[in-house]
Structure 1
Amino acid sequence: MSIQVEKFLDQQNKQMKLLYKPVLYNHWMSATTGKKEWIEKHEKALIDYFVNFSDPEAFKTILSLKKDENLTQLQKRQLDDLYNKMVKNQLNKNEVSKTVELEKKISQKFTTYRPEFQGEAVTNNDLLDVLKNSDNHSERKEAWLSSKQIGKKIEKDILFLVRKRNADAKALGFDNYYQMCFETQELDIDVVFETFQKLVELSNEPFRKIKDEIDQELSDKFNMDADDLRPWHYVDPFFQEAPPVNGFDMDKFYKGKDLEQIVTDTFKSMGLDIVDILKKSDLYPRKDKNPFGFCTHIDREGDIRVLINLDESVFWSTALFHEIGHAAYFKYIDRSLPFILRFHSHTLTTEAIALFFGRMNKTWDWQKQFLGLKEEELNEVMPFAAKMLQRQMLVSARWMITFSFFERELYENPEQDLNKLWWQLVEKIQLVKPPEATHYPDWASKMHFSLAPASYQDYLLGELTASQLQNYIETTISTNLFKPEVGSYLVEQFFTHGASLHWNEKIKKATGEHLNPGYFIKQFFN
């Protein structure tokens, strides 16, 4: 049997390697040029890649080989990975095409729809600008309502897609689509939601305190009672971002700084060389370039690139560190591993590293050593930076929990009054008072429910993992993060194993215990 397993896995690794690079390379070219030809090449390469995982004979072979009790750890992990990729692709091609067409239809509506505001068609960025800067109550309310118009336009499409996904999942033997996604991501749905419920309970008091501070600042700003605040008084339509701390501008300390050199020096201090990555990356904004940020490992053999739109600000500094964190993880995966396993063991593990590095520019040690702030400047900065980081962690954690609780219900019972459920969860978890009318499908205006399903929980699990890693480093390796031994620890205990370990076993190997939300709570809720 072992010869049969190795022969099959060798074939699968070669085939996957052949199809993988065109997907990521064409995606990179479409993101950096905006040209239609690269977008079309990427779509074709993606179709070819997924067709490879729809082979029913290969899937039968995997099911048979997984029964072998003498599999090595690497063989088992490869077969598990292939199973998780293939089980979702064993549907009739016509059914798959129907789902893809529904997703494309919704994506096109999100891309092309322009909400109406003050009698004119505007962009979402125009509406966000109003919410960030306007002091006019009626203008803010109109902008917020305009941001939700897309929800009404696509609500029926989304619900049709949810029912279709559920039907597809049931045809494959799962209870519903959401459950299928969790199982094929190696996530225990009950454990994840028990963890999130525990986070809600433990964060209730500190979050209420932070929320009261934010509401008091807003009530002073708008000269109104805090009880009268509504969703349009916050800077983000979903209250997923914390407003800036009043009276302080951190961006001023980034003016004239060479952020490429700063990020290079930061990682070098930890023994992590990223110079080769920066040389291949696309770091600055220009016409026809993707306006967001991501990291890609194009061939799983060292061609690692980062795309961001860097300027002299805290926001883009954080984005740079975040994406280079992803890149460092990819760079130091053991390349002697089979191609299938030269990847992160789960999205949450690479997010954990990206978030770990993305938090650094809020710390005293980093701002002193790498941003070059003087003692008096640090005394001015740190109270605001610490409060801003705590605010952001609390606000974003409660938002991600709200999203996840709702999404699970959406797939388990799409026939219920979803609009009512949405505002019940928002009010209970985020402490945001609903508008006068809650029958409108405000939830549907969030693109992730339709186009990035069952993924939001990974970000919060990544935050929990980042805190657990940081706690272990500071209590066991070094209280100063900017030491070579810290980089060595991350490489040897976390990066190098790639996907050869289950994500929770990787966390246990690196920290001595499985994922424990207590460290996140200790870091940000106390």
Structure 2
Amino acid sequence: MSHALQAFIEAHTRQVEPLVVAQSEAYWRFTTTGRKEDEEEYARLTAALRKVYADREAFARLRRLMEEAGLLKDGVFTPNPQVPPLLARQARILYDDFRGLQIDPALIDAITELEKEVEGAFNTFRATLRGRPVTDNQIRQILRTSEDLALRREAWEASKQIGAQVAERLLRLVERRNEGARQVGFDNFYTMSLALAEQDEGELFRLLDHLDRLTRPLFAAYKAELDAELARRFGVEVADLYPWHYSDPFFQEPPEAGDGISRLFEGRDPVTLSRAFYSAIGLEIEDILARSDLYEREGKQQHAYCIHIDRKGDVRILANLQPDAYWAETMLHELGHAVYDKYIDRDLPFLLRTPAHILSTEAIAVLMGRLIHHPAWLRRYLGLEEESLQQALPQALRRHRAKLLIFTRWVLVMAHFERALYQNPRQDLNRLWWDLVEEFQMVRRPEGRDAPDWAAKIHFSVAPVYYHNYLLGELAASQLLMTLRARIGEDEAWIASPETGAFLIRRYFRPGRSVDWNTLMVFATGYPLSPEPFARDLEPAA
């Protein structure tokens, strides 16, 4: 029976591999140019792939073959030591991929069309500020540096303009995703997505509740200090602080007044910094950089992402680089994704030549992005004099801790909101959003505001039921960092040793998706994912 199952998987791979590669190429063209024809091609290929997995006859055959091989009982995957591990792993992944798309073909088309519309709106949107179009970078710059409170408020409001444009379409998309989930036996799309990604909803929210309790007093103390600083800076009472007083449109990042860490990165090329670091730790990125699209251009998506086009090493990054701390961190982050993709064992079957899980690749990206707050990295790669480093060190350590606290609270908003969104998409979402922002981020809602500010967050549209993995990636990053320090040496050592790259390739990158995410954590660090290393990173500096 294993031979028949192997033959099915090989035939399936021959069918989907060219579609996956063509889809990736179309997405790259679309996001780098904004051309309508590339958007249409990407949507067409996405629909074609979904229809492959929606094939009821193929799914029934796969299910029967897995049952005959002893891998499936009553619809639940059951390990069988007599089946080769890589074959069993591919079967498990395929089963979940097929199961999630056993929905009506017309519904697949409707979902694909709506996703295309919403993502297209984000890709080509430019906010309007005082009658002129502005980029996300320009809005971010105003919120970081401007002392003009009226301009800050208008810039913040401009950052939310896209929400009103996409909200109704996004709600229709949520409803259609839910309809599809119900067709395959789940209560809603959120629950289905977690289950098919080898994650348990109950365990996830128990972990989030634990992180809420862990971080609430630390965050409240930090934010009280921050608000006092902002009140002095802007000449207002703490009670009169609003979202536009912070330096990020969603309060995802620690606000700064243009000094400290930010000043250290002014005029510093993110590519040069990244090249020096990744080369030192033995991870080659020149081929990745040569294929990437790194700078702002009209019609191009304003965000950043990494893509592995063919699962054979054609790895690329899209970015909109500026010589500042934000983009230095982003470049280190995206290259973390990129080197993971690049060094997956290419002898693995096509279906397994991806990261173990989205949280696994986020862990590497987060670990690398964090480095702009690490003193040893600042000393080595910015070439700081000891005096300059000592001046920047308190700010670096404070900002690193603040970043982790702020991001944890932000993810709590995102995860709780998205679960509620799919549980009841026609509730008062505008109110719910600000209820959660006030509860978890402790940011006061603007008086009288009733707008779909939540819909301005692109992830709800293009990366549904994904955001919690950023936080799980933070936990995994702290666990990996502890392991690197124990195996190779403290920060001065591991950030400049080829042993770091060798260890990551051998123990983290090469397995790809041949194992599940928690098995990978045990293989790399010796124990399952734990919040304890992350909790230590949240402790105030002595």
TM over 0.5: yes
Contact 2:261–2:395 (CA<8 Å) still a contact in 1? no
- Read off the aligned partner of 1:340 and give its amino acid letter: L
Residue from 473, 483, 486 that aligns with 2:497: 483
Aligned residue for 1:296?
A: 307
- Contact residue 124 and residue 300 of structure 2 kept, 8 A: no
CA RMSD of aligned residues (A): 2.6
The unaligned stretches of length 5 or more in structure 1 are none
Give a deviation string over 1:348-400, Cα, whole Å, max 9, x none: 11111111111123222222222211211211222222222222221122111
CA 1:382/1:405 → structure 2, altered by over 3 Å: closer, same or farther? same
The reply on whether 1:194 has 2:194 as its aligned counterpart is no
1:308 alignment counterpart: 319
Counterpart residue number, 1:29: 29
Indicate how the Cα distance of structure 1 residues 369 and 201 shifts in structure 2: closer, same or farther if over 3 A, else same. Answer: same
Retained in 2: the 8 A contact 1:420–1:438? Answer: no
Alignment partner of 2:457 out of 439, 446, 459: 446
Higher mean displacement: 104-113 or 483-492: 104-113
1:197-223, CA deviations, whole angstroms, 9 ceiling, x for partnerless residues? 111111112211221122111101121
Deviates more, 1:440-449 or 1:179-188: 440-449
Distance 1:259 1:159, change over 3 A: closer
Instruction: Give the equivalent residue in structure 2 for 1:361.
Output: 372
Higher mean C-alpha deviation, range 489-498 or range 32-41: 32-41
> Does the 8 A contact of 2:47 with 2:108 survive in 1?
no
2:58 is aligned to 58
- CA pair 220-318 structure 1, distance change in 2 beyond 3 A: same
Alignment of 1:130-149 (within 5 A): 130-148=142-160
Q: 1:101 aligns with which of 100, 103, 113?
A: 113
Give the aligned length: 524
Question: Which of 102-111 and 401-410 deviates more?
Answer: 102-111
Residue 18 of structure 2 corresponds to residue 6 of structure 1? no
Letter in 2 for 1:414: P
Question: Does the 8 Å CA contact 1:402/1:429 hold for their aligned counterparts?
Answer: yes
TM-score (normalised: structure 2) = 0.89
The Cα shift of 1:26 comes to: 2.7
Aligned to 2:194: 182
Q: How does 1:400-411 map to 2 (within 5 A)?
A: 400-411=411-422
Q: Which residue of 1 aligns with 2:74?
A: none
Q: 1:14 is matched by which residue type in structure 2?
A: R
101 and 267 in structure 1: CA distance in 2 versus 1, 3 angstrom threshold: closer
Label 1:476 to 1:4 Cα distance change in 2 as closer, same or farther (>3 A). same
Q: Is the 8 A contact 2:273 2:328 kept in 1?
A: no
Amino acid at match of 1:464: L
Aligned mate of 1:494, from 494, 499, 508: 508
- The match for 1:336 is 347
- CA–CA distance in structure 1, aligned partners of residues 167 and 330 of structure 2: 32
C-alpha spacing 1:404/1:135, structure 2 compared with 1 (3 Å): same
Does 1:386 find its partner at 2:400?
no
1:496: how far off? 0.5
**How many angstroms apart in 2 are the aligned matches of 1:89 and 1:382?**
51
Q: Does 1:398 align with 2:409?
A: yes
Match of 2:466 in 1: 455
**Cα offset, 1:463, TM superposition:** 1.1
How much does 1:462 deviate? 1.0
Matched, 1:508 2:519: no
Quick one: which of 227, 250, 253 aligns to 1:238?
A: 250
Which amino acid in 2 is paired with 1:510? A
Determine helix, strand or coil for the equivalent of 1:89.
coil
Residue 309 of structure 1 deviates from its aligned partner by: 3.3
Is 1:423–2:423 an aligned residue pair?
Answer: no
1:205 correspondence with 2:205: no
CA distance in 2, matches of 1:113, 1:231: 22
> Which digits, 9 at most, give the CA deviation of each residue in 1:449-472, with x for residues without a partner?
334321111111111111111012
SS of the aligned residue for 1:295 comes to strand
Do the aligned partners of residues 4 and 105 (structure 1) sit closer, same or farther apart at CA in structure 2, a change above 3 Å counting? Answer: same
- Specify the code of the residue in structure 2 equivalent to 1:337: L
Q: Does 1:372 align with 2:383?
A: yes
Contact 1:244 1:388 in 2 (8 A): no
Q: Which residue of 2 aligns with 1:165?
A: 177
Deviates more, 1:228-237 or 1:437-446: 437-446
Q: Determine if contact 2:27/2:39 at 8 Å carries over to the other structure.
A: yes
* 8 Å CA contact 2:243, 2:251 repeated in 1: yes
Stretches of 4+ moved more than 6 A in 1? 112-116
1:264 aligns to what? Answer: 275
Contact (CA 8 Å) 1:333, 1:342: kept in 2 or not?
yes
Secondary structure, aligned partner of 1:359: helix
Contact 2:307–2:317 (CA<8 Å) still a contact in 1?
Answer: yes
Q: Percent identity?
A: 38
| 1:412 counterpart residue number | 423
**2:96 maps to which of 84, 99, 107:** 84
- 8 A Cα contact 1:127 1:143, kept in partner: yes
Over 3 Å counting, the alpha-carbon distance change for 1:289 and 1:121 in structure 2 is closer
TM-score normalised by length of structure 1: 0.91
Q: Residues 223, 311 of structure 1: CA spacing in aligned structure 2 closer, same or farther, 3 A cutoff?
A: closer
Q: Which amino acid aligns with 2:471?
A: L
Corresponding position of 2:532: 518
For residues 307-347 of structure 1, what are the alpha-carbon distances to aligned partners after superposition, in whole Å with 9 as ceiling and x for unaligned?
33334322222222112211211121111110100101111
**Counterpart amino acid of residue 312 in structure 1:** P
Q: Using the TM superposition, give the Cα deviation of residue 109 of structure 1 relative to its aligned residue in structure 2, in angstroms.
A: 5.2
User: Aligned partners of 1:141, 1:264: CA distance in 2, in Å?
Assistant: 38
Q: CA deviation at 1:164?
A: 2.6
Aligned to 1:472: 483
Q: Deviations over 1:170-195 (max 9, x none)?
A: 11101111001111111111111111
Residue type at the aligned position of 1:493: R
Q: In structure 2, list runs of 5 or more residues that go unmatched.
A: 71-81
Cα distance in structure 2, aligned partners of 1:418 and 1:29: 34
For residue 158 of structure 1, what is the amino acid of its counterpart? L
| Amino acid aligned to 2:52 | N
2:20 corresponds in structure 1 to 20
3-state SS of paired residue (1:205): helix
Assess if the C-alpha contact under 8 Å between 2:124 and 2:299 holds in 1: no
Match of 2:238 in 1: 226
1:127, 1:333 → 2: CA distance? 38
